[in-house]
Amino acid sequence: MKPLLSHRTRTALLLPLAALLAACNDQTAQPSAPPPEVSVITTRAADVPVSFQYVGQVAGFRDIQIRGRVNGILLKRLYQEGQSVKAGTPLFQIDPEPYQVAVERARAALAVQQASLMNADLNYKRIVPLYKENAVSQKDRDDALATFEAAKAAVAQAKAALHEAEINLGYTLVTAPISGLTNKAAQSEGSLISASSAEGSLLTSMSQIDPIYVNFAFSENESIEQRKMEASGKLIVPPEKKFDVQLTLGDGSTYSRTGTMNFTDNVVDPTTGTISARALFQNPDSELRPGQYARVTLKGYQYRDAITIPQKSVLTTQQGKIVMLVGQDNKVSPRPVTLGQEVNNDVLVLSGLKPGERVIVEGLVKARPGQPVKIVPLTPPPAAAKAPAAKPDAAQPEKLAPSAK
């Protein structure tokens, strides 16, 4: 009987099969890739200090318009425009000569009335004894008394006129009513100052800048949201609502002194939908000037039982912000989160996380949803790496998020 397949044919069929079996054995022998290494923090709840930022504008503690109070020619400006002056410093000189004449005239009129009073007094003193002896009538005595009283009133009137004339003379030397920063002169020397005209009487303006105000405003919606959070206990208000205020200047530097909340309006501006507020700062070096813009940071609030995570643990997708979690089985799963403001190098989580969950901080690029990972200790920061560090505990590689309380 002839064989079904020749030796050559069997050999041709067996060679590919052997090659296939060898390839399968090679693949089986190769070890599977190890899970990627990641570092995590374990979330926890704590009272977290938060701040609110607004755009502010510096304003003088007192802004005053310096006006001429008498009519006359402006003879001289007595101050350096823009300089800081003390209260009582002479600023302008209005022509005093007409007012000196008025003072002299009033003094003369007073002298006349004083002479009349002296005469009336002597006459009355002569009449009284005669009246007691029935040498003159009661009418004569009454007339003498009336003349005496009228003379006294005339003297008082003349004194008042003299005082008014002296006041007007004093108004010709215009002095600074407060200590502060002067502005440029509104009237040039030789101008006619008209005390009855709003425009014609303005000489300059001044601002008291120590202390100094910073005005800002916050929206009505923000105010409503804050009140709701305060009522629910989620937002903790400082005792007596004493907020600290930090000021960031236009060049990015922080003003060296901390301010305090000074005023919050009780009405909403209908044109802007905002509520006005004001902070007070000490300004002994005149570093802050009226009109200057700055960023106001209001500090003192705390979020109760809040969760913060490092900013580098947050990923941005088309659907929003997400973080990668490591479950109890060491497998990765994404989680959408709603974030609040930054707190130091962390960010506040408003929703999406609860205490005790493990968030990937390092190794995000290697983590894939549904795949297992290996947890390793966090890389120490550069400053900490220079110092001798304790050997990490391999059994507990996780690290709690730092408390911001």
Give the separation between CA 37 and CA 23, rounded to whole angstroms: 30
Q: Does domain 96-171 have CATH number 3.40.50.970?
A: no
What's the DSSP call for residue 369? T
| Alpha-carbon distance values, 397 to 323, 326, 357, 376 (Å) | 19, 13, 14, 5
Give the separation between CA 327 and CA 276, rounded to whole angstroms: 48
Q: 10 Å Cβ neighbour count for 10?
A: 12
Give the separation between CA 370 and CA 368, rounded to whole angstroms: 6
Please tell me the pTM assigned to this model: 0.69
- Domain covering 37-48+305-400, topology: 2.40.420
Give the start-to-end residue ranges of the domains of the chain. Answer: 37-48+305-400, 51-60+208-303, 96-171
What are the tokens at 244? 């600290």
Name, in order, each residue with C-beta under 8 angstroms of 286's C-beta and a sequence gap of 6 or more.
84, 181, 209, 210
Per-residue pLDDT of the chain (405 residues; tens, 9 = 90+): 444 444 444 444 444 444 444 454 555 545 678 999 999 999 999 999 988 999 999 999 999 999 999 999 999 999 999 999 999 999 999 999 999 999 999 999 999 999 999 999 999 999 999 989 998 999 999 999 999 999 999 999 999 999 999 999 999 999 999 999 999 999 999 999 999 888 888 999 999 999 999 999 999 999 998 899 889 888 999 888 889 999 999 999 999 999 999 999 999 999 999 999 999 999 999 899 999 999 999 999 999 999 999 999 999 999 899 999 999 999 999 999 999 888 888 999 989 999 999 999 999 999 999 999 999 998 887 654 444 443 443 333 333 333 333
Q: Where are the beta strands (DSSP E) in 144-226?
A: 173-175, 180-182, 192-193, 202-219
Same fold, 37-48+305-400 and 51-60+208-303: no
What are the tokens at 99? 């007012």
The alpha carbon dihedral of 63, 254, 350, 232 has a sign of negative
**Residue 130: burial class (beta carbons within 10 Å; 0-12, 13-18, 19+):** middle
CATH number of 51-60+208-303: 2.40.30.170
